[in-house]
Amino acid sequence: MEALSDGVMGFAMTLPVVSIAVHPPGTPIQQLLRAWPSLLAYVLSFMTIGAAWIAHSALTDRFERTDSIFLRLNLLTLLVVVFLPFPTGLVADALRSTEGEREAVTLYGLTLLAIRLMGFALVAYARHENLYPPDAGDEELKRAQQYPLPVVIGYVVALLIGLAWPTAAVVVYFGIAVILVVPFRAVAHVVFGHA
């Protein structure tokens, strides 16, 4: 299960890079700067899938066992994760031309929300069925088990913002991805030493 999940998430993380294309005229730098929507969408999707992978690994690395229901929930989670490159391409195209921007950003946000909800469904099921030892106190596992309300509220707020200002919603999605990926406490501990 872990090998399949790692492979599928790794593959899904690489797919959005395919949508990055540079087009003449202009210098290579000018072409790259014009490709900013694709670059932004790629980084955002990479970080979102990375956050899902970190949480998934933190959960499944400590499993004592698994069962058929968890495996099926896991497949549903992977289904949603692998879908993300599709709205990523739509967002990149829409940010470049602003045509269909609202719809693309809304589909993207709904996909991000679905990934997060499926991740929390995995955690809730694993906790309910005692699939991992109760003393598994790893920091990443604790983060994966946190109540999803703040992140869910963030995605819902971004979805609502996106109905009026799609580009602003993408900025909010990016902020959420950073919060989910960057271990701010661990970084502060390294930077500022032992407190």
pTM of the model: 0.85
Of residues 65, 43, 64, 59, the one with CA closest to residue 6 = 59
Q: How confident is the model at residue 38 (pLDDT cuts 50, 70, 90)?
A: confident
pLDDT tens per residue, range 174-187: 999 999 999 888 88
Q: Please say whether the beta carbons of 9 and 49 come within 8 A.
A: yes
Domain boundaries, the chain: 2-192
> DSSP letters of 130-164?
T-S-TT---HHHHHHHS-SHHHHHHHHHHHHHHHH
Token pair 């501990």 is at which residue?
A: 189
Report the alpha-carbon distance of residue 134 to residue 148 in Å, rounded. 20
The CATH number fitting domain 2-192, selected from 1.10.3470, 1.10.260, 3.30.420, 1.20.1410: 1.20.1410
Two tokens, residue 6: 């790692």
